[in-house]
Structure 1
Amino acid sequence: MAATASIAELNDRARDVFRMVVDSYLGTGLPVGSRTISKMGLSLSAASIRNVMQDLEELGLLAAPHTSAGRMPTETGLRLFVDGMMQAAEPSVEERRAIEAGLAEVGLAEGGPIEEALSAATATLSGLSACAGIVMVPRREPVLRQFGFVPLNDRQALAVLVGQDGSIENRVLDLPRGVTPSMLNEAANFMSARFGGLTLRQAGDLLAREMEQERSTLEGAARELVTRGIAIWSHDADDRPVLIVRGQAHLIDDGTAADLDRVRQLLEQLEGKQEISRLLESALAGSATKIFIGSENKLFSLSGSSVIAAPYRGGDGRVVGVVGVIGPTRLNYARVIPMVDFTAQTLSRLMR
């Protein structure tokens, strides 16, 4: 396996050639030949450039996908470039205005719906970066107002949860044996009266205490029905990825025609939101933008994709979510990283 180098180990000539190869590749997506580099103002012969590119390949920074096809940066090379050589460009005035306008339209600063604001920010970021935009929504526990059970058949019912904010969610619940329509009403009335004004977590804790202390007035099947009802909502709230993805169509362009397997893998990964959510959760712990390049993360070992993600903060200053983009490894890091960072800062500012 080839050794890898640090920026300090590269001489000026190697750094110049490496930077030009990366810049050209990120702009075109194509391998770069020595003749192309020689026309970019470098005072080296094509033969000398070929020798330098060979040295960079031996260091694991460049690779030749085909014989005589030129070189392209490896994932290791891209990481070295992003961490040690890239000169990030601030978002343009137009880009800043577009991001701020997308959030202003849904009135986040005036108390508008957070999900709509995050969806708008993600769509705008996707359009500006030509990548898929992703955002992890803050996990918010609804305050409960009312429960209901609608029988579907002898073995199943629709569990209905109404939040104090007017939100309504439904889940199909398997019924205990012996449950009658009157028991469904009894359980729903009990839950609405006993748990109204609480979050799901608080309702579950209260139910567990009452069951343990034998203080519940419910018996038999109705009691089990209440337990199952709380369990299905609590389990769903804990496990469901709260993730918004916008702009997947940007991942399919003229340059992907010869790489459809990679695109298919990436689209499948976006459908599996739990895996993407776990990756984004690793960015929650930090205060800075994180970049995941290709197989550095097991999730993208097949699709060869990159993720740029930045945490944003809620009104109390705590990190509550992550916003970012996902695309091919050859995205414009110098432009997109500051754009993602600005979007996160704007969200944080408006959520205060």
Structure 2
Amino acid sequence: MGPPVTELTDRARDIFRAVVDGYLTSGVPVGSKTIALATGLNLSPASIRHVMGQLESLGLLASPHTSAGRVPTERGLRLFVDGMMQATEPSADERAQIEAELGRNAGRGGPVEAALAATTAALSGLSACAGLVLVPKRELTLRSIGFVPLSPVQALAVLVAEDGTVENRVLDLPPGLTGSALVEAGNYMSATLGGLTLGEARARIERELADGRAALDGAARTLVERGLAVWSEDGDRRPVLIVRGQGRLIDAAAAADLDRVRDLLDDLDGKQEIASLLDSASAGDATRIFIGAENKLFALSGSSVIARPFRGPGGQVVGVVGVIGPTRLNYARVVPMVDFTAATLARLMG
């Protein structure tokens, strides 16, 4: 661990902040001449170099071999984030973009994941990072199920959940199925399965069909079985982690360090590990910031994750939203943006 920020002299804090701010803005090492010209410290480059050397000996700055300038270490970034960062709230336009994506997709009556994905994509675009959202596997509680004919051989199965979610699946029809059989099957499933989860619905239908208690003709019975199988399979495959904007990780600054970017994209492919990391951020209310090798998952790629849980009805944590990018990201801007997105998603889930 580095020293507490309070143990640094005012001069050391000012120079350290100038290095961090310059590096996070430009992505290149910051030299003493740059600090002398760009700040009002009224110090000579030699005096600045002396202080930078002291900060390097404390493990807060490092000097790349190819440059006389300095960059913050991961330890230095942690000190900056925890003790010196001055957050910049999202602008009205940025807030409007996030809320617009949420409203546009939530208003379509489609899967909740569609709204989550769109909102996360908006966060990715605004932060220039990859956006992440983690949602636990949900057991939908059914309100109704219906079938809409599309052609003589296909129908649209429409599931409406108690939370208002509407999801559609295309279903192959048995040969010769009539429109009345579609209506009969839908009425039967809605009356029998309303208020049940998918797992409970499947168990009840299997019992009733096996016991001969389902008052259905053969065609409607086949449709019920096929429809239930479609929904049960989909429930088993419900996504846990949604990632948007991986391409934003390959920017001009990253082009000189393609190995790091490749490692980061490999990290994103290991969704289970990322999901576990985000899950660890679900405890409590605070935003969590993981910087580089503080988490072994990013020891190679040198990446940072900013994540915050969001809550649903009853105050229970229902997911985690965040971003992942290089350690050189604008923490002061992105942290409040993640906070705002979490609050926006909480309204969706509430």
Bucket of the pairwise TM-score, normalised by the shorter protein: 0.7 to 0.9
The aligned counterpart of 2:224 is: none
Structure 2 residue 69 is matched with structure 1 residue 57: no
Distance 1:334 1:264 in 2: 26
The aligned counterpart of 1:74 is: 73
The aligned counterpart of 2:268 is: 270
1:272-300 deviations in whole A, cap 9, x for unaligned?
Answer: 11111000001111211111111111111
**Residues 136 and 280 of structure 1 are in contact (CA less than 8 Å); yes or no, is this contact kept in structure 2?**
yes
Deviation at 1:120, TM superposition (A): 1.1
Identity of aligned residues (%): 65
Give the secondary structure class of the aligned counterpart of 2:313.
Answer: coil
Mapping for residues 162-177 of structure 1, pairs under 5 Å? none
Structure 2 residue 339 is matched with structure 1 residue 341: yes
Letter in 1 for 2:244: R
**Residues 2 and 79 of structure 2 are in contact (CA less than 8 Å); yes or no, is this contact kept in structure 1?**
no
Distance 2:159 2:285 in 1: 32
Letter in 2 for 1:327: G
The aligned counterpart of 2:35 is: 37
**Residues 22 and 73 of structure 1 are in contact (CA less than 8 Å); yes or no, is this contact kept in structure 2?**
yes
The aligned counterpart of 1:350 is: 348
Identify if the C-alpha distance between structure 1 residues 240 and 69 changes in structure 2 by more than 3 Å, giving closer, same or farther: farther
* Structure 1 residue corresponding to 2:126, chosen from 109, 125, 128: 128
Mapping for residues 1-352 of structure 1, pairs under 5 Å? 4-39=2-37, 40-66=39-65, 68-108=67-107, 112-142=110-140, 198-199=196-197, 242-352=240-350
**Residues 143 and 196 of structure 1 are in contact (CA less than 8 Å); yes or no, is this contact kept in structure 2?**
no
Give the secondary structure class of the aligned counterpart of 2:281.
Answer: coil
**Residues 240 and 274 of structure 1 are in contact (CA less than 8 Å); yes or no, is this contact kept in structure 2?**
no
Identify if the C-alpha distance between structure 1 residues 14 and 138 changes in structure 2 by more than 3 Å, giving closer, same or farther: same
Give the secondary structure class of the aligned counterpart of 1:106.
Answer: helix
Letter in 2 for 1:34: S
**How many residues are matched?**
295
Which moved further from structure 2: 243-252 or 99-108? 99-108
Deviation at 1:196, TM superposition (A): 6.0
Contiguous gaps of at least 5 residues in structure 2: 146-156, 161-165, 172-188, 212-228
Give the secondary structure class of the aligned counterpart of 2:304.
Answer: strand
Distance 1:62 1:240 in 2: 44
The TM-score normalised by the length of structure 2 is 0.74
Letter in 2 for 1:85: M
The TM-score normalised by the length of structure 1 is 0.74
Distance 1:78 1:47 in 2: 24
The aligned counterpart of 2:217 is: none
Deviation at 1:16, TM superposition (A): 0.3
Letter in 2 for 1:97: A
Identify if the C-alpha distance between structure 1 residues 143 and 348 changes in structure 2 by more than 3 Å, giving closer, same or farther: closer
Instruction: Name the Cα RMSD after superposition.
Output: 3.3
Distance 1:90 1:55 in 2: 33
Distance 1:238 1:300 in 2: 30
Distance 1:169 1:319 in 2: 33
Give the secondary structure class of the aligned counterpart of 2:338.
Answer: helix
